[in-house]
Chains A and B, each alone.
Chain A
Amino acid sequence: MKLYQSAGMDESVTGEPTTQPATALLVLGCPQVPVQTSIALYLINRLKKAGIVPTVAGNKAANTLLVIADPDRHYLGEVMDLDRAVVMITEKKRDFDRCFVFIHNDAGVTYAGTMSAISKAKVYAIIYGEHYEDLQKQIDFPCTTIAAKAVHNPLPLKKALDEVAPWAA
């Protein structure tokens, strides 16, 4: 971790170095494309199994879709408002090791570019939807792209995600 709050190596009260778990931020886009919620829960599960602590940031609708789908919080950990996440990272109050940005429209590309600029995290652009190829061409900032034509069926995007296996990187 690179950060200010839950950074990698700290010292315990005994002076022994302690290791903080790696962290990841999932930046959700507009939830109008169905695969986003499914892939977000899948990714959270894979990250947690790899010992990475996931935090979700989205607008109210995107967050609520996840919270309602996981009432006992088997998968979800911290969920926060997207604007608040941007403020905290910009003001260097918090950062993450990995940042996954869900992209199916131009706003998603804009948020990914913003995260690439303000965060020290390794950025992954998860691109899907009808126009995923056009959106992929707009990515001109440092990040790893994971892309598939997926709207209702999450399997093509799951396959692309599994090939990159960002939880193992």
Chain B
Amino acid sequence: MGCVESMDYEIVLRDATFKESRDFIKKTYAEFRDVQPGFKVFDTHVIGLPPIAIGLDGDFVIFPFTKPCHGTFLLRVEDKDEAARLRALKK
């Protein structure tokens, strides 16, 4: 997930478990899509326990980002095209 560091992201949630992050997305965002581990969001293959919830909020995409030493973060990135691509996935 090398390119995440170069994105203009906002950290929505940190210091939560992966499952807590998934629950947060489902409770907080009216729109979300479930994907499998390895699914590409932007140019990164998402890590996670399936199903991985990806939140959608207007043109913003909210997705989990896990690092071995820092745990899971929920990141919020504005990208109209990526939000549209994800929105087009079957629920």
Contact = CB atoms under 8 A, between A and B. Distances in A.
A30 B67 CA distance: 9
A: interface residue count bin: 20 to 34
A118 B38 contact: yes
A50 interface: no
A118 B45 CA distance: 11
Interface residues of B, number: 20
Main secondary structure of the interface of A (DSSP, over half): helix
A113 B37 contact: yes
A65 interface: no
A59 B2 contact: no
Interface in B24-59: 36-38, 45, 47-50
B38 A114 contact: yes
A162 B25 CA distance: 41
A11 B14 CA distance: 51
B50 A110 contact: no
A29 B17 CA distance: 15
Contact of A111 (B36, B47, B70): B47
A88 to B, nearest CB: 10
Interface centre among B1, B47, B50, B71 (most CB of A within 10 A): B47
Interface stretch (A17-25, A101-109, A152-160): A101-109
A109 B45 contact: no
Interface of B: 1-2, 17-19, 36-38, 45, 47-50, 66-72
